[in-house]
Amino acid sequence: MIRSLPILLLSLLACTPKPAPVVAPPVEAPPPPDPLDTRPSVGPAVPFLPPTPQVGALANGVPVWVLSDSTLPVFNLQLNVPGGSQLDAPGREGTAALTMEVMRRGAGKLDGAAFAAEVERRGLSIDGGAGPDGSYLNVVGPSDQLGPALDLLADMVIRPRFDGEEIKKSRELLDAGLQQGLSEPAYVAERTAASLYWGPTHPYGRPPDGTVKGLKASTPVEVRKWHASVWKAGAAGASFTVAGDVTREAVLEQLGARFGAWASAKPIVVPVPAAPVHDKDPIYLVDAPGSAQTGFYVAFPGLRDGVPEEAPTQLGTIVLGGTFTSRLNGLLREKRGYTYGVRAALYSQRQAGTLTVRTRIRADVTALALVDLLGELDSIRSGITPAELAKAQGAARQDVVEALQTRSGAGGTYADYLAAGRPPTALADELAAVNAVGVEAVTPAMGAWAKERAVFVLVGDRTVIEPQLREKGFTNLKLVTPP
Amino acid sequence: MLLSVAAAFAVEPKIPFERYELPNGLQVVLMVDHSLPQVVVDTWYRVGSKDEAPGRSGFAHLFEHLMFMGTFRLPGSGFDQVMEAEGGWNNAWTMEDATNYYDVGPANLLETFLWMEADRMSALGKAMTGEKLDLQRDVVRNERRQSNEDRPYGMVELELTTALFPAGHPYAHSVIGSHEDLAAATVTDVTGFFDTWYVPNNASLVVAGDFDPAQARVWVERYFGGIARRELPARAVPAPVQAPQKASVTITDQVDFPQLNLFWHSPAKFSSGDAELQLVADLLGSGESARLYTSLVDAGLAQEVQVMQYGLEYGGVFGVTVIPMEGVPVEKVQAIVEGELARLATTPPTAAEMERLGNQHRIGTFLELEPLQNRAESLNRYWAYTGTVDGLAADVARYDSASPVALSSSVSRWLKPELATRILVVPEGAKP
């Protein structure tokens, strides 16, 4: 506007030899600039260092980490022990899950109903479970109920009742839940992929929540035996993590009174064999007649927990399918409209892990989506851009921040590190390792994602998806039934 | 009165904040929490599926998806790209009464979040195209397949709306909508909806987390201050409904077990009886000492029982859902549910039950307030339903003051057997 005004005046003068008095038209003030037209710059990131828990130990050596936070009058306690579903005997898949279920159905002087009533009367909740590598119990409650909560927890761990009727009831409930789950395409895909990837008898290939047959076959004697080996004498290898409105001293005193003399056998170590090598496996199909969508589950060879390749692989996985703008979600959801969402994730377990991709695709475009997916899996092996790396690092940091905003998130995060034998600085160390990764480190990490080594499971209506797959050249197909 | 065994619960839950209103009607709430280096911007628009035109079911939710499809200042997927490039993320959801958008990320993204929210509040409609609409239409239809059609028992919530509410009632259709209506939506519908409802005087903005409130005020004024308010259309408040439209509906599904659902009309959110029926739902179905858990699951007759009170602006829905054990007749399970309700209608809960309910509810409130985003959202929810963001104390008080007799009275008033609609899901191939 300023540059053009003098030019206009000169031209007017040149065209008017006898200038007459001219009344200049009112000049409208230019509208103020719209602040929305300028995108603000992003300031420097605020430094963030995750907290280091306070450390202690009980008289019998059981380590305890405490994260004190008095902003709300609640606590979260997690007790981890080694030994999980990998200890289920062959044909008894589900013994671990059944044992964990019955442990909270009566303990000490309280039968099942009285135990539940006492827990709930005090505003507490207690849950637990068994994964392949280990088992856990988790307690949440008002902070001044820590003592009574530990009384109940100690009874579950050391003095469960295992009443026959409760075992029967628990088995029926787990069995019904399992059968319900087998109607869920995503659940079916995950179980089937684990069994096919690891092998049906591998400790990681057997479903942690059991099989219908295994649950039925697990006897009360086996339940008691599983509990005795994992929990009753489980102090060696056990660990406590407490987060919330508690002090280290109070936690150690209260835990010491209930668990200081907890018996200690040798820590359970179950060797986990390597996964079988997959080489151009068929695409496995699970028939789900009438499904409007096809469930995809892809399992690649992954990593052991805590190895140096974990950070670059984690970041590459985020770029592939860990956020909304990830390559896979951008293509399959936002560009193609084939799906509601796609997720890639890295599951690092104690002794081996997997990289997985999961999605639900509209049934009529199953083969097209598979072509796209394979293309992206190839592409990520060539590496990522610096902008993608920065995005993944930001997402990883934000994940940690958000985990720490709840007692259960903080407690669970640190409990996993403690159970894995990592130091109290593990979270900060891991975040520093993520921040130190350069793009050059991601390429070899993601280069390991050879699709020939992966297991692909598709759960959908066979009559709809099989012709499409064959037409697109996917002829190596194998129909399987879920475990 | 709810009593507590836990002295820790003498602490009243609190959310400190400051609130003001821009001249264009935008409600602004600043809630500072420096405990972690993150911020949340939570924007609540008072428009939901109840405001959809006839033949456009699912439109409010479809529109929510389109809010991420770019403006002329930030085209394409810029909204997500810019946010995620710095470690932030976002999401949104739509319900019958409202649509909620939230941005979460590191504290240094706050100004960017505010700019992006203001940009789309001011200009989303101008950049709408048929291509964007078609793409998100596909995504939403996939969401419907994933969340309802291919999910075991997922069609119940779609049947519920017409079984309970009369045709023409704002809640007589589902939030996700029908495929036909989704397919019929046009770009003109989108721009019209945007111009009508996405105005500052129909929105509330909560800024939460690690920030300087004085600086935040400057940014809010700078980016939102110039967006013009517009007159909102008058909404016709529907007449209260207490009787269902259908006494019974049977649907088939690819499941192994039947599922019994009983639904009733119930009080609107925050209205008289809402808290009491929420406590009734907890008394019957929350935890392993709950009445229906004991009489059905613990007794070996059912594998699962769920009870809920879902209060909305123009009324609510109370529901009981039971999956019987294999071989247990649905009628037997239904008789037990009706028996428990009849008992509760005449005999108030015991003191021990009230104590359990009090403790469970109080700890649930505390745990709900842990995540920053939950706190931000709850302030917006209070504003939307009660007219004030400062609603936490009153919300807590209505549960604390609920009496055993009031719980019984709410059951006898609202949950009469003849006022229930039954939706029965039977496995494909089984006899209904």
Let me know whether A167 and A204 are in one domain.
yes
- In DSSP terms, B20 is beta-bridged to B28
The total number of structural domains in chain A stands at 2
Same domain, A139 and A251: yes
Q: Which of A183, A324, A395 has the CB atom closest to B152's CB atom?
A: A183
| B16-224 to CATH, choices 3.40.50.620, 3.40.50.720, 3.30.830.10, 1.10.490.10 | 3.30.830.10
Is pLDDT above 80 for B11? no
Structure tokens at A416: 């996993």
pLDDT at B227 over 90: yes
* A66 within some domain: yes
Dmax (CA) of chain B: 66
What rounded mean pLDDT belongs to chain A? 91
Determine the pLDDT at residue B1: 53
Say yes or no for a CB contact (<8 Å) between B150 and A183: no
Cα B283 to Cα B264, B293, B309: the distances in Å are 17, 10, 12
Q: Do B108 and A46 touch (CB under 8 A)?
A: yes
Do A169 and A128 lie in one domain? The reply is: yes
Q: Is B350 on the interface with A (CB under 8 A)?
A: no
Q: How far is Cα A79 from Cα A146, in angstroms, rounded to an integer?
A: 14
What residues contact residue A24 under an 8 Å CB cut-off, 6+ apart? none
CB contact under 8 A, B359 and A121: yes
User: Residue B223 in contact with residue B244, Cβ under 8 Å?
Assistant: no
Average pLDDT over residues A474-480: 97
- Dist. CA B306–CA B282, nearest whole Å: 9
Q: How far is the alpha carbon of B166 from chain A, nearest alpha carbon, in Å?
A: 30
Residues of chain B with CATH 3.30.830.10: 16-224, 248-427
End-to-end CA distance of chain A: 74
- Please check the confidence at residue B212 and state whether its pLDDT lies above 80: yes
Q: Are strands A74-82 and A134-142 parallel, antiparallel or unpaired?
A: antiparallel
Does any CB of chain A come closer than 8 Å to the CB of residue B55?
Answer: no
Contact B89 A324 (CB under 8 A): yes
Cα distances (Å, whole numbers) of residue A444 to A275, A383, B163, B263: 21, 8, 57, 56
* pLDDT tens track for B38-61: 999 999 999 999 999 999 999 999
> Could you tell me if B143 lies within 8 Å of chain A, comparing CB atoms?
yes
pLDDT grade, residue A46 (50/70/90)?
confident
Phi and psi angles of residue A128, each rounded to the nearest 5 degrees, phi first: -165, 175
Between A401 and A16, the higher pLDDT residue: A401
Give A138-193 pLDDT, tens digit per residue. 999 999 999 999 999 999 999 999 999 999 999 999 999 999 898 888 899 999 99
Q: Is the pLDDT of residue A249 over 90?
A: yes
User: Chain B window 121-140: which residues touch A at a Cβ cutoff of 8 Å?
Assistant: 122-123, 134-139
pLDDT digits (tens, 9 = 90+) for A369-378: 999 999 999 9
Task: For chain A, give the longest Cα–Cα distance.
Answer: 118
* Mean pLDDT value across chain B: 95
Q: Which amino acid would we find at residue A154?
A: A
Whether A382 and chain B come into contact, CB under 8 Å, resolves to no
B264 by DSSP, 3-state: which?
Answer: strand
Task: Give pLDDT tens digits for A283-324.
Answer: 999 999 999 999 999 999 989 888 999 999 999 999 999 999
Percent of chain B with pLDDT strictly greater than 90 = 93
| pLDDT grade for B97, boundaries at 50, 70 and 90 | very high
CB nearest B6 (choices: A34, A144, A360):
A144
Specify the pLDDT at position A18: 45
Domain stop point among A211, A226, A259: A259
**Cβ separation of A325 and B80 shorter than 8 Å?**
yes
Give yes or no for residue A9 having a pLDDT over 50: no
Residues A198, A148 share a domain: yes
Residue A7 clears pLDDT 50, i.e. is over it? no
Is the model's pLDDT at A17 over the cut of 50? no
The reported pTM is 0.92
**A123 close to B (CB below 8 A):** yes
- A93 is a domain residue: yes
Nearest to A144 by CA among B401, B362, B357: B362
Q: What is d(CA B322, CA B130) in angstroms, rounded to the nearest whole number?
A: 44
A152 and A253: one domain?
yes
- pLDDT at B432 > cutoff 50: no
Asked if A117 reaches chain B (Cβ–Cβ under 8 Å), the answer is yes
What integer pLDDT is reported at residue A32 of this predicted model? 78
Distance between CA A10 and CA A13 in Å, rounded? 5
Tell the residue number behind the tokens 């996939």, with chain if given. B142
Q: Are B254 and A183 inside 8 Å of each other by CB?
A: yes
B11 to chain A, any CB pair closer than 8 A? The answer is yes
Q: What integer pLDDT is reported at residue A30 of this predicted model?
A: 73
Q: Are residues A177 and A215 in the same domain?
A: yes
Q: State whether B85 and A177 contact (CB < 8 Å).
A: no
**Which band of pLDDT confidence, cut at 50, 70 and 90, is reported for residue A6?**
very low
Does any domain span residue A372?
Answer: yes
Q: Which residues of A touch B81 (CB under 8 A)?
A: 325
Q: Looking at beta carbons, which residues of chain B come within 8 Å of A112?
A: 298
Q: Which of residues 350-369 of A touch B (CB under 8 A)?
A: 360, 362
Beta strands A293-301 and A239-244, pairing class: unpaired
**B12 inside 8 A of chain A by CB:** no
Q: In the structure encoding, which two tokens stand for residue A286, read together? A: 């699970």
Integer Cα distance of B207 and A263 in angstroms: 51
pLDDT band at A233 (very low <50, low <70, confident <90, very high): confident
| CA dist., res. B39 & res. B5, Å (int) | 35
- Phi, psi for B406 (deg, rounded to 5): -65, -35
CA distance B200 to B114: 13
pLDDT band at residue B321 under the 50/70/90 scheme: very high
Provide the residue range defining the domain that includes A195. Answer: 54-259
Residue contact A42–B81, C-beta within 8 A: no
pLDDT score, position B87: 94
Give A431's pLDDT tier (boundaries 50, 70, 90). Answer: very high
- As a whole number of angstroms, the distance between CA B25 and CA B20 comes to 10
Q: What is the pLDDT of residue B12?
A: 81
Q: Could you report the per-residue pLDDT of B355-412, keeping only the tens digit for each?
A: 999 999 999 999 999 999 999 999 999 999 999 999 999 999 999 999 999 999 999 9
Same domain as A255, residue A333: no
State the pLDDT at residue B304.
95
B248-427 CATH fold = Cytochrome Bc1 Complex; Chain A, domain 1 (3.30.830)
pLDDT digits (tens, 9 = 90+) for A73-105: 999 999 999 989 999 999 999 999 999 999 999
Tokens of A192: 């089937």
User: Three-state SS for B378?
Assistant: helix
- For residue A329, the domain's CATH number is 3.30.830.10
Rounded to 5 degrees, what angle do the CA atoms B127, B133, B139 make?
130
Q: Do A176 and B288 touch (CB under 8 A)?
A: no
Closest Cα in chain B to A72: B366
B342-B343-B349 Cα angle (round to 5): 130
B131 close to A67: Cβ distance less than 8 angstroms: no
Q: Do B323 and A176 touch (CB under 8 A)?
A: yes
Confidence of residue A351 (pLDDT cuts 50, 70, 90): confident
B414 pLDDT above the threshold of 60: yes
Asked if residue A75 belongs to a domain, the reply is yes
Give the pLDDT confidence of B250-308 residue by residue, as tens digits: 999 989 899 999 999 999 999 999 999 999 999 999 999 999 999 999 999 999 999 99
pLDDT at A1 over 60: no
- pLDDT band for position A475 (cuts 50, 70, 90): very high
Residue A64 counted as domain residue: yes
Contact of A163 with chain B, judged by CB distance below 8 Å, is answered with: no
Domain check: are A218 and A357 in the same one? no
Chain A, 243-272: which have a CB under 8 Å from a chain B CB?
245
Q: What is the mean pLDDT of residues B2-31?
A: 84
Cβ atoms of A175 and A213 within 8 Å: the answer is no
Does A386 contact chain B (CB < 8 Å)? no
- Bigger pLDDT: A82 vs A233: A82
Q: What is the pLDDT of residues B152-186, one digit of tens each?
A: 999 999 999 999 999 999 999 999 999 999 999 99
- What's the rounded Cα separation, in Å, for the pair B30 and B207? 5
Q: Residue A477's pLDDT is what? A: 97
| Residue A67 placed within a domain | yes
